[in-house]
Structure 1
């Protein structure tokens, strides 16, 4: 892999992490903050828009770099600041422009690939669950250790039970559903293998 391809891959990886974080936050806000059920279609739409927005940012950066390069061409005096480019900077600016454009192109391709979007959502959802799970474990250790010392124990019991129903049981159901799907896929592969033998 050449330096240009490596730079694009690195830019895509950074954008991917940013998208995952935005999707994770969106899941948390919608399901916990707004008390909405998890909706895969809503998350697919949000994820695609997020990736396209990141692609637009990269395209804007490419266009801005292009303008800087055009202005720098033929200037041979000393520069006066960070973005006061000169002719000697045009080669580097051209390389950066191509890299920004390459990242934008790859992000647009990702946004149009349902499998990539679903994988991004799944990773974001796992991260969201990890946040919720860690928070619950931390709270359960504190609250579960000495309920007799907590004057709000009975008052907060309903909230804890609701969190159990909305979070823990939903995760368990999703886990069971994934296991059933995996078993079905394995059974289909096995059946295909038997028929082909």
Structure 2
């Protein structure tokens, strides 16, 4: 497990990342999904609650390690499972207890430190904005993509053309037929009526292309 201080620092880092993720998600929900104003004080309360909850989890893990150490004392037989500890595991269990207790202590200290709370909220806000910015950039890249800049253009072109023939063109043709029909279902007479021709109408994918002419 290495030095206990280093292990505690790593545990705090992991717990802080979890807290930042939770606060970031709440910021996204409140400010975007619910269109609410960013209230730093409201998120400060949330950040404290999250840190305390994480500290409680670490404290519970420390109590469990302590109970496991007491149960393992004086046992020298082979274990029956992964968590069936023996006397030879006493040292590691003792280190785990100190680790969990140290992480819990540091998280509680951060929960009581206004500056640590402010930094947590700020980093969470930046992370939330980073997600929004990344989504906007992806949408702009897709909507503004040119064929020569799209590495998947050739591979996806066949699928797009098939979708055009089988879905979009029939739907547009049906819409045009409906627009030219009156309330009684009879074709409308007017300047835009299509003149019939003895030559066969051009078709694509089973669709009469003359129906698509404006």
Structure 2 length normalisation: TM-score? 0.65
Q: Which protein, 1 or 2, shows the higher relative CO under an 8 Å CA cutoff with sep ≥ 6?
A: 1
Partner Cα separation in structure 1 for residue 81 and residue 98 of structure 2:
23
Q: Does 1:75 align with 2:80?
A: no
Q: Which runs of 5+ in 2 are unaligned?
A: 147-214
- 2:201 counterpart residue number: none
- 1:61 counterpart residue number: 61
Partner Cα separation in structure 1 for residue 65 and residue 141 of structure 2:
52
**Following TM superposition, by how much is the alpha carbon of 1:70 offset from its aligned partner in structure 2, in angstroms?**
0.8
Instruction: Please list the CA deviations of residues 93-135 of structure 1 after superposition, one character each: whole Å capped at 9, or x if unmatched.
Output: 0111011000000000011000001001101100100000111
- 2:112 counterpart residue number: 112
- 2:168 counterpart residue number: none
Secondary structure of the residue that 1:81 maps to in structure 2?
coil
**Following TM superposition, by how much is the alpha carbon of 1:145 offset from its aligned partner in structure 2, in angstroms?**
5.5
- 2:208 counterpart residue number: none
Instruction: Please list the CA deviations of residues 137-189 of structure 1 after superposition, one character each: whole Å capped at 9, or x if unmatched.
Output: 2212333569xxxxxxxxxxxxxxxxxxxxxxxxxxxxxxxxxxxxxxxxxxx
Instruction: Choose between structure 1 and 2: higher helix proportion.
Output: 1
Partner Cα separation in structure 1 for residue 90 and residue 138 of structure 2:
54
Aligned length: 145
Secondary structure of the residue that 2:36 maps to in structure 1?
coil
Structure 1 length normalisation: TM-score? 0.70
- 2:124 counterpart residue number: 124
Partner Cα separation in structure 2 for residue 137 and residue 7 of structure 1:
38
Q: Provide the alpha-carbon RMSD of the alignment.
A: 1.4
Instruction: Please list the CA deviations of residues 20-62 of structure 1 after superposition, one character each: whole Å capped at 9, or x if unmatched.
Output: 1111111001111222211111110111111111111100100
- 2:140 counterpart residue number: 140
**Which of these two proteins has the greater Rg computed from alpha carbons?**
2
Q: Which runs of 5+ in 1 are unaligned?
A: 147-197
- 2:13 counterpart residue number: 13
Q: Does 1:98 align with 2:98?
A: yes
